[in-house]
Amino acid sequence: MTGLKSAALALLMAGVAAPASFATGIPDSYTTFEKYGVCGSLDDSCYNDWFDRTSGEEAASKVLVFYHVAEGVKQHDNRDAGVEALTALFESAGMEVTATQDPTFMDSGFNLRPFDTIVFWNTGRDALSSLGQMSLRIYVEGGGGFAGIHNAFGTNFNWTWYEGLLGAQLYDHAPRQTGTVHVSAPNDPSVAHLDGVTFGPEEFYNVHPDPRALSDVRILLSVDEATMTEGTQGYYGHPGMGEGHPVSWCHYYDGGRAWLTTLGHSMEILEDENWRKHILAGVEGTMGKAPFCVGE
């Protein structure tokens, strides 16, 4: 961060305006197409319904929970317990669940095709091969659903398309602590019940780039940094994201639906009914089984 500040200062001293990325506030607005070269929208104008994933209206929805962490990378303590908790949650809603940490499973688009939604649950670093990247992209382009939970943001840092799918990636976070969240989209079922709810201990991610800058991403939920009593500065020096610090958001991206949340760090959160309802409604939305990415 010191290097960035120095570079910005040098530009200003030279009479050159610093780019928006040097600012601590919300950067200038841009579209998904301008930044990532693919279609992004708040409505289904960017959605491709190119194949059916279920046979008949009564067929169970199918969800894939992917939780691979690259070799040598420490996994979250709640990763394995979270797989069990998510499996039970989705099955209680009548879904068929497949869970895998095998990255080779993701290498085949035919493996992914049957699923209504793919959930990345506390994955870590380079979770996909080049074949896996291609398969996930083809899946989303055909209308597949995607839900990224917590350390999905700490995954595939060197893949620009994936950054666009998420709308941001992990930069750092302040100390684990409690924080009170506020709802930006009260009609969206994934967050309608959450206004004023306190979560924690949690890692409230400072993300980059700022998803609030994407004009075709809908912010659903934010954390009030005034309630983060341990401070907002992250371990790499990010000062915090200020008013409206984003926690959960959604969009249509390159043919599919994507729903994202940074909440999901602790063992305790797995038993939190507010969080469980948040996750279930978000996943159902990406499947098209519930209202998705609803504005005011």
Backbone angles phi, psi at 243, to 5 degrees: -60, 135
Alpha-carbon distance values, 139 to 29, 224, 273 (Å): 28, 35, 31
3-class SS at 108? coil
Alpha-carbon distance values, 201 to 204, 207, 275 (Å): 9, 18, 13
Q: Are 165 and 133 in contact (CB under 8 A)?
A: no
The yes-or-no verdict on residue 159 having pLDDT over 90 is yes
Q: Which two tokens stand for residue 125?
A: 């670093």
Q: State the alpha helices, DSSP H only, in 67-125.
A: 79-92, 109-112
Name the DSSP letter for residue 44.
G
Reported as a single tens digit per residue, the pLDDT across 80-101 is: 999 999 999 999 999 999 999 9
Reported as a single tens digit per residue, the pLDDT across 187-207 is: 999 999 999 999 999 999 999
The kind and range of the H/E element at 5 are: helix 2-13
pLDDT score at 26: 52
What is the distance between the alpha carbons of residues 63 and 116, in angstroms, rounded to a whole number?
A: 6
What is the distance between the alpha carbons of residues 134 and 108, in angstroms, rounded to a whole number?
A: 9
Q: Which two tokens stand for residue 184?
A: 């930006």
3-class SS at 202? strand
pLDDT > 90: percent of the chain = 82
Reported as a single tens digit per residue, the pLDDT across 251-294 is: 999 999 999 999 999 999 999 999 999 999 999 999 999 999 99
Cut 0.85: pTM above it: yes
> Helix (H) and strand (E) counts for the chain?
7, 12
pLDDT score at 180: 98
pLDDT score at 74: 81
Looking from the CA of 157 toward its CB, the CA atoms found within 13 Å total 9
pLDDT score at 57: 57
The yes-or-no verdict on residue 109 having pLDDT over 50 is yes
Backbone angles phi, psi at 120, to 5 degrees: -95, 110
The yes-or-no verdict on residue 15 having pLDDT over 50 is no
Average pLDDT of the chain is 90
- Domains, the chain, in order of start with CATH, read 31-170+247-287 (3.40.50.880)
Alpha-carbon distance values, 173 to 23, 85, 230 (Å): 18, 25, 11
Query: Crossing angle, helix 273-287 and helix 79-92, to 10 degrees?
Result: 60
3-class SS at 64? strand
> Pairing state of beta strands 218-223 and 96-100?
unpaired
Count the Cβ atoms, other than its own, within 10 Å of residue 165.
26
Name the DSSP letter for residue 256.
E
